[in-house]
Amino acid sequence: MSTGTIEVGVSHGRDPHTAVEDALDQLSEDPNLALVFFSPRHADEIEAALEQLPDECHSLGCSTAGELTPDGYTQGEVVVALVRSPYLALETHRITFESNDPRSAREAGRDFVLGAIEKLRDPGPCLDITFNAMLRSLRAGRPTRVLPYFMIELVDGLFPAIDYYVDGINEVIHRFNFLEVYGGAAGDDLRLERTYTLENGELCPEHSAVVVFGGHRTEDRRLLGLRVRPRARGPVPHHRGRAE
């Protein structure tokens, strides 16, 4: 039976399969979030290794130019951090850039954040009581006040218009105080040849960005003394700095 305990499992090593297995062994229940950072030399193995994760676990990651682990800095390894929390509503989102044009990249960054927010609402539920009102305010450029969410964003480190893309993200997160944002750009052991991003166990096409976006689940509003108005549920659609 599921409990209210939050658990974290962290493992690292040169064998991706063993790293995932060891992290899973540290948890008493299935994780719902996996963060995976890996040397690009493991790009051919990482997808198969992540097949060990349960279907309900969202995963996000990227290649590195060195890895930070509980035991210090390493190179050529895979780092897996698993989180099991009954309090999180999570969704992942990805984009592949179609143009290196600065204006297009800036718009992509802005739409990327808003698209991630909208995906989180689809399977419902997250903490904001007036989610639709919040989205309307964001789209119209009006200030809005909501309870906090978090976003972890990773982008292909060799995308030529990366600075403009980040400007688009900042346009949203700096204007509206509703997101705690973490992330960076993928590395490739300083070879400057190919970097990788990963979403839900799959490597993304070149010049992609990925994000996991989350907030508290609806039922946890009661813990905060908030009034809950259940939302009618229909069929749920299927969605699917340099990391060092």
- The CATH code of the domain that includes 110 is 3.30.1330
Looking at the structure, do residues 3 and 104 belong to the same domain, yes or no? no
Band (231; pLDDT cuts 50, 70, 90): very low
In angstroms, the CA 97 to CA 27 distance is 37
Q: How far lies 114's CA from each of 99, 117, 135, in Å? A: 19, 5, 8
Q: Span 35-42, mean pLDDT?
A: 96
User: Last residue of some domain: 37, 61, 86?
Assistant: 86
Amino acid at 106: R
In the chain, where do the E strands start and end?
Answer: 7-13, 33-38, 58-63, 67-69, 72-74, 78-84, 88-96, 149-155, 179-185, 197-199, 202-203, 208-216
Looking at the structure, do residues 121 and 24 belong to the same domain, yes or no? no
Please state whether 66 falls in left (phi above 0), alpha (psi between -120 and 50) or beta: left
Looking at the structure, do residues 13 and 120 belong to the same domain, yes or no? no
Looking at the structure, do residues 128 and 191 belong to the same domain, yes or no? yes
The pLDDT, as a whole number, for residue 135 is 63
Q: Does residue 140 belong to any structural domain of this protein?
A: yes
- Residue linked to tokens 């097949």: 51
Looking at the structure, do residues 143 and 216 belong to the same domain, yes or no? yes
pTM of the model: 0.78
- Per cent of the chain over pLDDT 90 is 53
Phi then psi for 229, rounded to 5 degrees? -115, 105
Band (82; pLDDT cuts 50, 70, 90): very high
The pLDDT, as a whole number, for residue 113 is 83
Report how many domains make up the chain: 2
Decide: helix, strand or coil at residue 36: strand
The residue range of the domain holding 161 is 87-236
Q: How, if at all, do strands 149-155 and 179-185 pair?
A: parallel
Q: Span 223-236, mean pLDDT?
A: 35
